[in-house]
Chain A
Amino acid sequence: MAAPTAPPRSRLQTALGDAGFAALVTFGLSFPLLAFRTEQDMQNRLVVEPRWSWSLAAVLAIFCARLLAGLIQDWRARALAIPGALVAIYGGSLALGPSFSAGALTACAGLVLLALAFPLDARLRQAPAPAARSEGSDRSRLFALGGVLALFLFPFVMLTLLGPAGSLKWINNYGVQILIYVMLGWGLNIVVGLAGLLDLGYVAFYAVGAYSYALLSTTFGISFWLCLPLAGILAAFWGVILGFPVLRLRGDYLAIVTMAFGEIIRIVLINWTDFSNGYAGISSIPRVTFFGVPFTANEDGFAALFGLEFTPIHRTIFLYFLILCLALLTNAVTLRLRRLPIGRAWEALREDEIACRSLGVNTVNTKLTAFALGAMFGGFAGAFFAVRQNFVSPESFTFIESATILAIVVLGGMGSQVGVALAAVAMIGGTEILRELDFLKHIFGGSFDPAQYRMLIFGLAMVVMMIWKPRGLISTRAPSIFLKHKRAVAGSLVREGHG
């Protein structure tokens, strides 16, 4: 006779148990840390002031968070639940304080989000075990995580090492500038690297994004956070507009028409003065704010709000994080799309368009989505460019920009996300570093101006690079799905598309 086994505990019981334990630990910790505070009174004596409410709040918060984490296990459901809970708390505090109705409404919205997370979690958890896998190895994941962490720490490390004045150059000229090109490279990589469509007019979408923010914010006063998606949508729309006429074009013809498209947009911006103010450009575009809090020295500015000393580096660091998040978003979406039918269709299109059509792939839609998505990320980057410079003019969107972005994609190895990022660092960081070759004056004499040889050195480096690694820094292709072994596909087998 089998020994009677205890019935398995339900999820709720387990979660409640875990949460209760966590709350107990929090109470134990908060008791000495939070619950008492010593203060000097009028007679300079230390008195203990109890702060039971702080301790209670901490215990409650930990209990709720642990309970939610126990009940909602899928990360996507958690991604929905966390903002839901935060909005609910924010709404609740608003309702108790200044405005009851608005607060209650916000709290309700948050609770609805939170409630939705439960059925979502239940549905996502019954997903079948995958027959084939598509994610990378643990080592490459760790590597990526480390890289992202380093990027997030970069401005703070610079700040502590060099101080606000010294680090400005590093965060702005290197950090922000390189990340803009990483993002543009990743955006263009969808069109050129994945779908194999040679696009020499990518700067047009960068311009559309920049002018979208510039015009929408200066004429209608729309905030940056609203303009950002709008700029993406407008750029995607223009991507489709460009996509239609070039659907049937290949190779050189495709390159020429896309290049012409880039020039058309620029020339329209120059000549349609009523709309875009021509050569003079659009100035005094609203600067970026910290979700509504401006980076000014006033008392309602960012520095005052957080009790910091005002320095302009705060804005630069915020811009750095903004472009870092935008670039990471581009990367995440691209990596995900590569594993979806649409992404595989892009790559199949690059390999063989005729075979694609014989398999029922609608190549028109496939090309248009590639153009639209690539353009959308260009548009995001454009809006960022406008908010960073707070000035845009057609001068910033010349053909050389398109050529630089394309060079980044080609140098990186077409289709490789890591390669494009490395190439952007090498190209943009390289041109910046070449500005600092003043020591050469000691060798060639005082009249030698290294800045003038910058482009020459750079061009030579590119030529050497292309002889040494003709298919770019990372020439192999990672398969989007695998049964047993993830083996990179040799670059010689991968086609470059009809571009």
Chain B
Amino acid sequence: MSRWLDDPLLSVEGLTMRFGGLTAVSDFHMRVGRGDITALIGPNGAGKTTVFNCITGFYKPTQGRLALAHADAASTHDVDALTRSGRRFASMGGRDLFLLERMADYEIAARARVARTFQNIRLFAGMTVLENLIVAQHNALMRASGLTFFGLLNTPGHQRAEAAAVARAVGWLERINLIGRADDPAGALPYGDQRRLEIARAMCVDPVLLCLDEPAAGLNPRESAQLTALLRSIRDHDGVSVLLIEHDMSVVMQVSDHVVVLDYGRKIADGAPQEVREDPRVIAAYLGVDDEAEVIAAESEIARLAGEAP
């Protein structure tokens, strides 16, 4: 049942990230199962976004190894061999293997095919909804336009590629119910639509792993339900693994196959949603106290106050 152990798409080993004296993430291990929706949760400032930024190359980790294997899981032997070779990625035994901590951010998106969204939405506000989705297909279009030379001549090959990119964008706009607003600037959309558009834009990169940083933040219950359905269809229909950071527990418990909990930069729980929900350390972390004894003390204090009140 635990696919993240049998067939991990991404394995994070010993990830540590320090900012000067502050250790935002320390010795963090996790695996993202192929075809799973994995949730990364934790209180504010726990270091979740920092983990995302390390995976997607926006931060260079102080320490640690992040190995991503396309197609099927890489053996430890292969990963060690690649690590020793000093290269960033390689095709080993027919599998493409990537060491993300060595790669630049744009390479991780373009080659390792990890796409992401941001906690504070980063759409191209002054470009239209359609243009946002076309820019996401930049590398495929760049190849088809012969690094711009064929594009300048407007050859049929380039035209076909552009038509295909538009078709893909239109397909996504229909899925997220934004087809009617294709020609509107992205910055003019309501907040919930912007969130969905950012997900669609990341999907247009054609990723194997989609990282979503708080996709449900600021959504109303109806939009949250739509989001849950969208995430499921991305997993089941597109076969893309999803890693998501989320504070909305109802969304997390509904969609995720696997939950990892971070607190003060350390992993405190890792397992199926049911197990994690009942883990006392997780409860303690969410109530904002350090250990179990204090949880019990706090709960009895609450009970006492409740008894006194009437």
Taking beta carbons and an 8 Å cutoff, which residues of A are in contact with B?
Answer: 76, 123-124, 126-128, 130-132, 333, 336-337, 340-342, 344-345, 347-348, 351-352, 354-363, 477, 479-487, 489-490, 493-495
Instruction: Kindly identify which residue among B105, B110, B124, B156 contacts A351, using a CB–CB cutoff of 8 Å.
Output: B124
B150 nearest in chain A by CB position: A340
Instruction: Kindly identify which residue among B139, B184, B187 contacts A360, using a CB–CB cutoff of 8 Å.
Output: B139
Contact A493 B138 (CB under 8 A): no
| Known pairs A347-B127, A484-B183, A494-B126; A358 contacts B148 (CB<8 A) | no
Contact B148 A340 (CB under 8 A): yes
Contact B128 A482 (CB under 8 A): yes
Task: Kindly list chain B residues whose C-beta atoms are within 8 Å of the C-beta of A477.
Answer: 126
Contact B159 A128 (CB under 8 A): yes
Contact B148 A341 (CB under 8 A): yes
Task: Kindly list chain A residues whose C-beta atoms are within 8 Å of the C-beta of B184.
Answer: 487
Q: Per-residue 0/1 for B160-178: is the Cβ within 8 Å of any A Cβ (1 yes, 0 no)?
A: 1011001100100000000
Number of residues of chain B lying within 8 A (CB) of chain A? 50
A333 nearest in chain B by CB position: B152
Contact B125 A361 (CB under 8 A): no
Contact B131 A360 (CB under 8 A): no
Task: Kindly list chain B residues whose C-beta atoms are within 8 Å of the C-beta of A127.
Answer: 155-156, 159-160
Instruction: Kindly identify which residue among A336, A340, A358, A481 contacts B116, using a CB–CB cutoff of 8 Å.
Output: A358
Task: Kindly list chain A residues whose C-beta atoms are within 8 Å of the C-beta of B170.
Answer: 131, 483
Contact A340 B145 (CB under 8 A): yes
A370: shortest Cβ distance to chain B, in Å? Answer: 12
A362: shortest Cβ distance to chain B, in Å? Answer: 5
Please measure, in the bound complex, the distance between the C-alpha atom of A481 and the C-alpha atom of B202, giving whole angstroms: 20
Please measure, in the bound complex, the distance between the C-alpha atom of A130 and the C-alpha atom of B107, giving whole angstroms: 31
Task: Kindly list chain B residues whose C-beta atoms are within 8 Å of the C-beta of A342.
Answer: 142, 145, 148, 151
Task: Kindly list chain A residues whose C-beta atoms are within 8 Å of the C-beta of B188.
Answer: 490, 493
Instruction: Kindly identify which residue among A123, A130, A341, A479 contacts B163, using a CB–CB cutoff of 8 Å.
Output: A130
Contact A359 B115 (CB under 8 A): yes
| Known pairs A342-B148, A490-B185; A360 contacts B138 (CB<8 A) | yes
**Contacts beyond the supplied A351-B125, A484-B183: 7 A-B pairs with Cβ under 8 Å:** A124-B156, A130-B159, A358-B109, A477-B126, A481-B134, A482-B183, A493-B188
A-B contact pairs, 24 of them (CB 8 A): A76-B153, A123-B155, A132-B162, A333-B152, A336-B152, A340-B145, A341-B145, A344-B134, A348-B124, A351-B125, A352-B123, A355-B118, A357-B58, A357-B109, A358-B105, A358-B118, A359-B136, A360-B107, A360-B109, A481-B166, A483-B130, A490-B185, A493-B187, A493-B188
In the complex, whether B38 has a CB less than 8 A from a CB of chain A is no
B179 nearest in chain A by CB position: A483
Contact A361 B135 (CB under 8 A): yes
Contact A132 B130 (CB under 8 A): yes
| Known pairs A351-B125, A479-B128, A493-B125; A344 contacts B135 (CB<8 A) | yes
B contact face: mostly helix, strand, loop, or mixed = helix
Task: Kindly list chain A residues whose C-beta atoms are within 8 Å of the C-beta of B156.
Answer: 123-124, 126-128
Task: Kindly list chain B residues whose C-beta atoms are within 8 Å of the C-beta of A359.
Answer: 106, 109, 115, 135-136, 138, 201-202, 205
Contact B183 A483 (CB under 8 A): yes
| Known pairs A355-B122, A358-B109, A358-B116; A482 contacts B130 (CB<8 A) | yes
Task: Kindly list chain A residues whose C-beta atoms are within 8 Å of the C-beta of B109.
Answer: 357-360
Task: Kindly list chain A residues whose C-beta atoms are within 8 Å of the C-beta of B123.
Answer: 352, 355
Please measure, in the bound complex, the distance between the C-alpha atom of A356 and the C-alpha atom of B104, giving whole angstroms: 13
In the complex, whether B54 has a CB less than 8 A from a CB of chain A is no
Please measure, in the bound complex, the distance between the C-alpha atom of A490 and the C-alpha atom of B110, giving whole angstroms: 31
A232: shortest Cβ distance to chain B, in Å? Answer: 15
In the complex, whether B56 has a CB less than 8 A from a CB of chain A is yes
Contact A483 B148 (CB under 8 A): no
B57 nearest in chain A by CB position: A357
Please measure, in the bound complex, the distance between the C-alpha atom of A494 and the C-alpha atom of B156, giving whole angstroms: 32
Please measure, in the bound complex, the distance between the C-alpha atom of A356 and the C-alpha atom of B142, giving whole angstroms: 14
Contact A337 B148 (CB under 8 A): yes
In the complex, whether B244 has a CB less than 8 A from a CB of chain A is no
B144 nearest in chain A by CB position: A341
| Interface residue ranges of B198-244 to A (CB < 8 Å) | 201-202, 205
Quick one: which of B124, B130, B170 has the most chain A CB within 10 A? B124
A124 nearest in chain B by CB position: B156
Task: Kindly list chain B residues whose C-beta atoms are within 8 Å of the C-beta of A490.
Answer: 185, 188
Task: Kindly list chain A residues whose C-beta atoms are within 8 Å of the C-beta of B105.
Answer: 357-358
| Known pairs A128-B159, A345-B135, A493-B185; A360 contacts B128 (CB<8 A) | no
Please measure, in the bound complex, the distance between the C-alpha atom of A490 and the C-alpha atom of B128, giving whole angstroms: 11
Task: Kindly list chain A residues whose C-beta atoms are within 8 Å of the C-beta of B145.
Answer: 340-342
Task: Kindly list chain A residues whose C-beta atoms are within 8 Å of the C-beta of B167.
Answer: 131
A354 nearest in chain B by CB position: B122
In the complex, whether B300 has a CB less than 8 A from a CB of chain A is no
A363 nearest in chain B by CB position: B106
Please measure, in the bound complex, the distance between the C-alpha atom of A361 and the C-alpha atom of B105, giving whole angstroms: 9
Task: Kindly list chain A residues whose C-beta atoms are within 8 Å of the C-beta of B62.
Answer: none
Please measure, in the bound complex, the distance between the C-alpha atom of A341 and the C-alpha atom of B158, giving whole angstroms: 10
Task: Kindly list chain A residues whose C-beta atoms are within 8 Å of the C-beta of B182.
Answer: 482-484
B184 nearest in chain A by CB position: A487
Quick one: which of B123, B126, B151, B162 has the most chain A CB within 10 A? B126
Quick one: which of A342, A358, A481 has the most chain B CB within 10 A? A358
Please measure, in the bound complex, the distance between the C-alpha atom of A354 and the C-alpha atom of B56, giving whole angstroms: 11
| Interface residue ranges of B31-45 to A (CB < 8 Å) | none
In the complex, whether B91 has a CB less than 8 A from a CB of chain A is no
Contact B163 A131 (CB under 8 A): yes
Task: Kindly list chain B residues whose C-beta atoms are within 8 Å of the C-beta of A484.
Answer: 182-183
In the complex, whether B250 has a CB less than 8 A from a CB of chain A is no
A494 nearest in chain B by CB position: B126
Task: Kindly list chain A residues whose C-beta atoms are within 8 Å of the C-beta of B185.
Answer: 489-490, 493
Contact A481 B130 (CB under 8 A): yes
Task: Kindly list chain B residues whose C-beta atoms are within 8 Å of the C-beta of A345.
Answer: 135, 138
B117 nearest in chain A by CB position: A358
Please measure, in the bound complex, the distance between the C-alpha atom of A197 and the C-alpha atom of B54, giving whole angstroms: 27
Contact B166 A131 (CB under 8 A): yes
Please measure, in the bound complex, the distance between the C-alpha atom of A123 and the C-alpha atom of B167, giving whole angstroms: 22
| Known pairs A354-B118, A495-B125; A361 contacts B134 (CB<8 A) | no
In the complex, whether B245 has a CB less than 8 A from a CB of chain A is no
| Known pairs A76-B153, A341-B138, A344-B131; A358 contacts B126 (CB<8 A) | no
Please measure, in the bound complex, the distance between the C-alpha atom of A273 and the C-alpha atom of B115, giving whole angstroms: 54
Please measure, in the bound complex, the distance between the C-alpha atom of A246 and the C-alpha atom of B106, giving whole angstroms: 19
| Known pairs A127-B159, A357-B106; A344 contacts B138 (CB<8 A) | yes
Q: Per-residue 0/1 for B4-41: is the Cβ within 8 Å of any A Cβ (1 yes, 0 no)?
A: 00000000000000000000000000000000000000
